[in-house]
Amino acid sequence: MSTNTKKTTAPAAAPVATHDYRATLILDLRGVTVPVESVLARLKDTLAAVGAKVLREESLGQKTFVRVTDRKNPSGIYVQITFNGPTTAPAAFREKLRLDRTIKRLLVQSV
């Protein structure tokens, strides 16, 4: 008896395309005793969880808003994080921070 068995090899997985992104965040730390550095560390852990690699982080300090949406909060702490990740990373990062009360605004741009 002869059996014809073909050995099939699985196609090699295509490399995941990665891009550089810049996330600009406005932090609202009212009523929170956590320093900015620990919030940055938590944000970097969140980016690592979505498969991104942090390239650079920068705290731009406290700035007054041009258009105040809440009179009780006329300023915020601005932070920029540059990271490299798959094309799904910005949406996943935004979704993970959606309910975080320390993040007032989030803007992710492709660099």
pLDDT tens figures, 24-68: 999 999 988 989 999 999 999 999 999 999 999 999 999 999 999
26 within domain boundaries: no
64 within domain boundaries: yes
96 within domain boundaries: yes
CATH assignment at residue 55: 3.30.70.60
60 within domain boundaries: yes
Any residues with CB less than 8 A from the CB of 78 and at least 6 apart, and which? 24, 25, 26, 27, 59, 60, 61, 62, 63
User: For the whole model, what pTM was predicted?
Assistant: 0.81
Any residues with CB less than 8 A from the CB of 92 and at least 6 apart, and which? 50, 51
Judged against a pLDDT cut of 60, whether residue 2 lies above it is answered with: no
Given this model, what pLDDT does residue 15 score?
Answer: 72
81 within domain boundaries: yes
17 within domain boundaries: no
Q: How many domains does the chain have?
A: 1
Mean pLDDT value across residues 75-100: 96
